[in-house]
Amino acid sequence: MAEAKLGDTVKVHYTGKFDNGEIFDSSENQDPLKFTIGQGHVIPGFENAVVGMNTGESKTEKIPAEDAYGAYSNELVLTVNKNNLPQEISPEIGQQLEVKNPSGDAFPVVITEITDETITLDANHPLAGRDLIFEIQLLEIEA
């Protein structure tokens, strides 16, 4: 039986959980996730977990933050004056905005705090700094 390896395109079903059992994502009741191992379309720890699996095999893999979405970085949190926001924006905690860096690249941020004069923007991935647990079932390997 063939094992999944670098360069293979695979289809998997998965459920992602935190240590407390809370589910944060799942392909259940959806199309399976299809990706090519080694192309970086999924987090490194997930790719590494699929390598060596056989079609039909299931496993549970704990992926540390550094192999998932990375460590949480305080350098990606910025407090700005409310006057810097466009007039049409009414900021709310949890609201996602898109901002541009000095070179013009756009990236998403989430408003995490609002005061009378400032708002705090967080550009970390929502799962940064979290260890993740994935239940993975390998459905198909395309050579």
136 and 49 in contact (C-beta within 8 Å)? yes
Are residues 63 and 113 both part of a single domain?
no
Mean pLDDT across 58-76: 97
Q: Which amino acid makes up residue 67? A: D
Q: What b/e readout covers 83-94, taking b as 16+ CB neighbours within 10 angstroms?
A: eeeeeeeeeeee
Q: What is the residue-averaged pLDDT of the chain? A: 94
Q: What is the CATH number of the domain that holds 87?
A: 2.40.10.330
pLDDT of residue 89: 87
Residue 4 inside a domain? The answer is no
pLDDT of residue 102: 84
Are residues 135 and 102 both part of a single domain?
no
pLDDT of residue 143: 66
59 and 101 in contact (C-beta within 8 Å)? no
- Overall domain count for the chain: 2
By residue range, what is the domain housing residue 137?
9-70+127-142
Are residues 28 and 43 both part of a single domain?
yes
pLDDT of residue 79: 95
Please give the torsion angle defined by the CA atoms of residues 137, 139, 125 and 22, in that order, rounded to the nearest 10 degrees.
-30
